[in-house]
Structure 1
């Protein structure tokens, strides 16, 4: 087995020294490898490479904090486990980290050894959890792909738990979607054919109880999706414990329906032939008996049809019937009355004649679309499908008696006793009057809606549930609430809070039948102000006159009228009081005059002392006297007036009443808590004032009302600036709200406890999870939800950690609101204030039930895989990164290695060499790129050194990345491949011999042709001219005869040389030859511009003959040629073009291809033919591409790999 791979961790921190220390500590364990970076942006790039098992990050960093890095990674799709490792100990940091997907939180500080040991432990746990999840997914993928490749379904039955697990392929064999239902042995038996059920159960039970290792059985099943009967073959092996008791049964299921059906068909045909003979013997008697029954049945059918025709004829709705050919077979009396067409005229007519009375033309109607379901979307009707084959429709394009009518139509097919469609029936009803009534109702409704909406009076309508359904424009103006916002809300939103309940009760009484008219009702405006409305309501009932449908209210804004009445009343009362006051003032003035001088002197002394005292304090003191107007005016203000208000004392005194400084929103507080005070009363209140610079200050105001020497009320008190205190309180409230929002918006169940170890805080997700109130949970109440078996352990772990003030982590079961106990991971840490004073603990719980189930599923899947490996008839394995991670016994048998020898070894171990492995790998990649999987035939090297041919089928876990892993099946095809190679060898030998004979035959035919035809022709010329020369008289000039003889002899010579060259063609093996050497061998001493340089091509040894013939062709046929140029260029597809160019007369366009044919040309017609034959041996093509009149250009296209440069 290969050594375990270290956990790959990435640590991000802006402290370089801490990075080095952390890596040193963590890597000393030997099982953790750490990469470090101080740059969060670089860390994000590293995370997205996917090579890390865990990421550890500081919280506070300059460019990006740890939580921002976590968010960015999660948004990009990375699910790598993430640990926040920071010195920040605030609860909100912990909560925000967990809510954003952090898997663990660890606070820096304390003993480094303990701290990094805890960090290392967290890294190992998270990496193990991540690998377990990946292992589950990969194991399941390998199982599915192995079954798909082998075309077998598998199942596992656990005798201890009674659980039956099917693979996806098994579900498909039984006609179920994978995982559609939980299977048991009983549900499996219910899908077995009843005739086979007892046999299947007995076979299985017998093999279990008798200690048999395996069994095989064939039986029938019913497919759940189609009900089809299928035949399956099952093979099962039992795994037993040390006592021989079966613990696990692993089986394979194979659909053998096609084979069984073929067998059954043969047997059935035999039985049918035997039964046919017997049947023929009894048919004669049955026919005699059936003839009498048929006559009686026919008579009853005729009576039934007559009865049906009468029913249709007397139907009150217009009705007609057609057969499948579209001919009318029924046209009832109501239809005659509606259309005016007698039945006699319409019966038997087709070609849509039944549409003419309605639409004035022959066209398809609804009855035709019923007979051709699926086309109703093209019909001119507004159709509705009532059932599978019944259509309802409406149309307004029909005309009857010259007027447009609206028709409601229903059409349905008709069936005979065997369920065959024999026609269709259509019922037509004139709904013109109904449609007119509906249109009138719509118009009336629209008129009423416009009347309500544009009425000058405010109108609102609500239903029996007091939900607003109408809200006109006048009510929008009255309340400031848009109609679309008000509609759907309760009517209570219209009333102020203090009178809402009473008004709603009054509304309910009115809705119950009470009267509510001309009532003055307060209406709440959106701004907070209250309007007074003269209110009248009326109930709207249904057709029965009793059922309440809705209530309508109309209001008239009388706010200004009520305010005017109030002011008038107040003014009247003030005038009466003033009159009485004047009457008594005269006597009082007389009595008070003598005392006034003395009081004034004492008051002056008191005020001087008061000013000296108040001038030395930081707050403000004030005094106010009651004025004749009924209001108070400042008579004294001293203290820190300028600092608190920004005004001097004199400026404030000039304002008369300090209400001018009060914030407008707090005027009501001023009027409520200060102005109404009477002698002997006092108050303390807080309100806001506006500083001279526009800022707002909070002050605490004390006000005391006394009676002055003159008997008039006098008010005095002080101001205290509490702005800083208010800001601190507001910041505290915002902080608490922020904390609660963070705690309540995540998935974590968060708790906290104080110094007494009593749990005093639980967030909303905790309370929602447990279904209990905060009061029930605080203290030790939460322990009631912990599973009784886990309770004592939880208490021990928590109290121990609390005493040591150390973090803890534990797993226990917690009861959910529905009574189910769920496994939770409970982590807690001590919390401190800014002065490091211990405050208690804070922690969170995460539901890990599904993780535990996943781990159990992994174990079950692994057991299932082991069972499949035991019974699979092919070799099955799995690799990750090209290294074997799993192999079954059949694969070991094929390769000759044991399982331990294969696991951890690279797949290339099975190939003879690196080249063979890379070649096979390229083929795999090419197939996988196209289809996502591949099946190839390759050769494996067995352990004993022998080779075996195998068929290798591969399916990738990730088609985009071969290194991520794959499942493979291996089938040994050595014997079949040996047979194929032997057949191929014989075929190749036969082909070679055939090709050789063809080539020899071609050469013989050509040489025979030259010998018989071309040479004989030239001999004829030669001998003829010699004969003429012999016949010449003495002294006669015979040079004109000798010249043709010389030419013919030359031609014969060249033809004989060609046959010699052609005979040698292809005898020698092709070889690399420099072009420049081949050109020099032409040796015609003709001006040649050779630009081929060190170019060499792979060609027949007769390559020099190519250039010799090209030079001969240029000299013989080029005309006035002054030079020859040889050059080359590379093509885009990797080929090379070599060109031979001259500046002669060129080749006519129509002869460019002809010149390469045998016998074509001005001389022997063999030179260019031979060139093409020589070049063609190594795949080189030659064409002539020159421009006639400007020179010839022969282009030789050399394939890629057939040319090179240099030696």
Structure 2
């Protein structure tokens, strides 16, 4: 093979001699140049295997040319051929990358032979290095394509090489980390380091064909990268001892994470499988699945083992007929065979299994592997409770029927409603004449009662009240209406608390309502009589008061004047009390009503600053409730002495409500706090606070005074849960 080289010298004759001599061996083709500048120009336009240069030339000398060549053309072989033999030239040439240095001498034949040898040796070494680099680049590209890194471990030098891909795998760029055996060992995860070192030693001792291991190496960021390392001994010394290993790194972090997730998932599945309350049994099915001996227990969880009542080792590998004799006669085997053949799941209703003396519900599935899975729930206790509940409900219904109460049973989900025989008789119906649903009751409620009744029912169903109770009228078969007391309770709820079933009673209260009407009518007559009597009494009092006033204007003795003054005071007090009875003559006469506090209090005209914070509160009270607050205002203004501010607010205590009336007056002494509510106690008539308590008590409300004397009065009105509603709850 011929190599083309370039020889530069400023001596024309020497250029010709060197060219002729080097070409004689038929291995080199020599082109010549007269200066360094010409060499650079030729190298830019043609390809040469090597450059031979004189040292001392006009313009650019050999060292300068060497520097230019190395900078622009890289590692092309360069031989410095010169007559200068100074040591500093030799050192300078070699330091700047000359491959060889040859001094011109008198022994021409030997000199030219050595020059030819240097040229050929430099070219072949350069080609070998280039071939090695090309090979390494191809290998590096191949490794990049497979996403693997390359490592090379020289045991004689105890040195380690990592490819750029390996470095990037661990977070480093090329040149950022100089790999070494020491930092390789330091970066291995502490838990893996002894395993890796032992495995490597055992491989070097010949225990394994190849070196292959998964372990973790610390990333530049501090985390760890899982790598699969494969390697092989590629060189040994004369005694057969390994001296060099080459191998690869493969990043398997994602694979390891996936394996860990799979492992955790399997652990969770096994934990769920073992801890689930239902029995789970997996069967291998042989033959056609027609008998209990065709079902072999492959796996059973703890609950299933408990159901069979045998150790797990007595179940696995045995047939269902062996572990549960007598099951072949049940419908279970036929159902299991159907599922096994069709793949359609089945759920069997609760069935009594005599061998286990238990009521069991079974769900049967077929896996893609053709194995049959049976999920079993022991419902023996539920079955017993359900039977007892049904018997109890029957006894309860019979008892209520005997007590002359009508019974209703409402399925809230479907609206289906059971009405007892007595319920129908109360309204004049025979069995079969009324549609058994919720609307049969709803459409019979009197139009005037319907809204309030539905609101009370819905409030209870939503959990806003503790009980449901309503008095309303129901239409009878003949078109008349009867008053009933309707009471009920939710008996069954879903897991989210939503009511599913409600049971209750209707009690006829027609006679009670008639008595109430008669009482109201009697009270009305008494009020009329009281009004007439009061009118006459006031007129007569005014006449007497007039005569007293006339007598006082006469010239009378002091004793008579004193008695007339006392008489006038008594008459005026009597006059005020008679007028006061007019305001309270209707107390308890009218039905209580739902009244919004904010509306009531907004109508009050207070002479001092009044702060009201009772939004969204509605109470059930006598229509005279407004007089309660007017009397409290009158009490504050009359007896507080220095009242400038009144505050009305509420607070909830569990299920009850408290309304607070507070002023900043002098307050009430501790020994008077209860006496102020008694008849006749007070600076005036002593009726105001007494009648307040009477008005409130009609619907179960109470009042007490809890203020601190000297800091103001504080009245607390307690309202029971059934006598108040928050926003959106009032009828």
**How would you bin the TM-score normalised by the shorter chain?**
0.3 to 0.5
Structure having the higher Rg:
2
TM-score (norm 1): 0.26
